[in-house]
Structure 1
C-alpha cells in the first residue's frame, strides 16, 4: 500500500473514476456548464503556473551532463513514441472510430510523468538525478513540443490545429508556466511549505477537467456512440501499446550500452505518459464535446502504466537482475 501511495495509485485514482461517472450520470447543462468552462480555464492556468514554480532548472542543468541518456530519453518520448502511436492510431481507426484513435495518437505526443517515473527509478536502484532531469526536461519542453506535434501529426478537417487553439496554448498554458519559472526563486519556499495545498490544487484541477470533459461528451451524445465492446477493445489496444513501448525501451537500453541505473531511467521515463499534463492540454486544444473521448486512452494508459511499473519496480528492488534492461548475466554497471 505504501508503494501504491508513493506513485499516486491511491484515493486520487478512485476520485478520477468518480469524476468520470459524475460527468456521465450528472452532466452540467446551461449556465452551470458555461460557468464550469470559465472555472476550468483558470484552473488550467493555475496548474501550469504551479508546474513552472515547482520545476527546478538547476536539477535539469546538472542532469544534462549525461547527454547520451538524456538524448535517448528525449528521442524515445518525442520521436519513437509518436511513431508507434501513429501506427496504433492507424490500426485503431476502423475499429474504434476516428475520435478515440485520435486520442491514442495524442497520448503518444505527451511528456513523461515526473513523480511516478522518478519514484519507479528510485525503487529499481536507478539513476535518480538522471530521471529527475529527463522527466523535468520532458515536461518543460512538452508545453511547446506537444502542441507542435499535434499540429504536425493530428491534421484536422480545416488543415490543422486552429489558430485560436494555438493562442490559447500560449496564453493559458505557456505564459503561466513561464511566469512560474521566472518567479520560482521567490515562490519556491512558499510552495515547499504548502505542498499539501499545492497538491490539492493540482489534483482538484485535474478532477475538474475530467468532469468537464466527460460532462460535455454526455451532453453532446458522444457516449451513445461508444459501445462497451469498443471500450474493451480500447483497453486491449492500450495494453498492447504499453507492451510494445516497454519492449522497445528495454531493448534500446541494452543496444546503446547504457549502465543498469541509466537503463532504468530510459525504461520508466521513456514508457510513461503524463495524465497531469495531457488533460489540460487536451482541454485547451480540442472541442469540448470531443475532449472526453480523446482523453479516454490517456486515462486508461495512466492507470495501466502505474500498475505494471509498480510490479516491475517491486521485482527489481527484490531481485536486481530483474531490473529493466538487465539479464541474469549482466553483472556490470558502466559509469
Structure 2
C-alpha cells in the first residue's frame, strides 16, 4: 500500500466521527442550497432525509437497507393518508381510526421484519393528516418524491466517499490488541500507582469489542469471504473478551493484595513468556494496521513451570494469604498465551 495513502486512511479511520461530521455537513448544506436554487416544493425534505439516513456513521452496505425502509414506509404512509383524505376529508374521527388501524397493519403484516419502515409510515401519516385539506395531496406527493430523492443522493454519496467496514474493523482490532498488550505489561509490573488507569484500559477493551461486534454485520455484507467465516469472526470477539477477563482477574488480585503483587512480579515462569506473548500481539496489530496479510503462527509456546519454584514459593508463603496461589498465576498466564495463539490462528484465516 502507498505510504501516503496509508497515512490518510489511518487518519480517517482514527478520526471517523470527525470525518463523518464533515461529510454530513457538506451533504446536508449542499442539498439544502440545491433545493432552494431549484425552487423544489418541500425541498427541505431532501436535506432532512440525507441527515436522518446518514446521522450515525454509516458503513458501506448499511445505508441501502435503511433507505429502502424509509422510502417504502413513506410511500405506504402517504398512500394510506391520501386514500383516507379522499374519502373522508376533515373527519377527525375517521382520521384517528385510520391511524389506529395503521399500527397493526404496518407493524404486523406489511413491515413485520422492518420496524423502522413501519415507524416511518406512521410518522408520514401523522404529518400528512395534520396538514389540512387542500395541501395534503400536494404535500404527500412532493414529500414522498423528495424523500426518495434524498435516499438516492445518500446512496450515491456513500459510494463516492465510502467507509469500508472491513477497514474500520481492522483499525479497531489493531487498536484493541495494543490495549491488551499494554494492559498485560502494566499488570505484570504490578505498579500500584497505575491501577486506576489499568482498570479504565480494561473498560476500553470491552468497549472496543462491543464496537467490533456492531461492525460485523456490515463486514459480512461487504465481503463473501467474511460471510463464509462468520464463526471465526465470533471467535475473535470471544477470544478478545477472554483475554480481557484474564487480565481483569490478574489485575484485581495484584492490586488488591500486596502478596499477590509480590508473587506476580517475581514469578520467572510468567516473565519468561511475556516478551514472546507481547511480540505476537504487536505483530498482529501491525499487520492489521498496515493492511498486510496476517502471517501464520509457527511458534509453539512450551510452558516449563518449575515444580521446585512452585514448592519453594508455597513454603515461603505458607503463613501469608494471597488471593491466588503461585500455580494459579502461572496457569492464568498460560491460558492468556494460549488464547493469543488461537486468536492469531483465527486472524490468519480471516485476513
TM more than 0.5: no
Q: Which has the larger radius of gyration?
A: 2
**Structure 1-normalised TM-score?**
0.27
Ranked by relative contact order (alpha carbons within 8 Å, sequence separation 6 or more), the top structure is 1
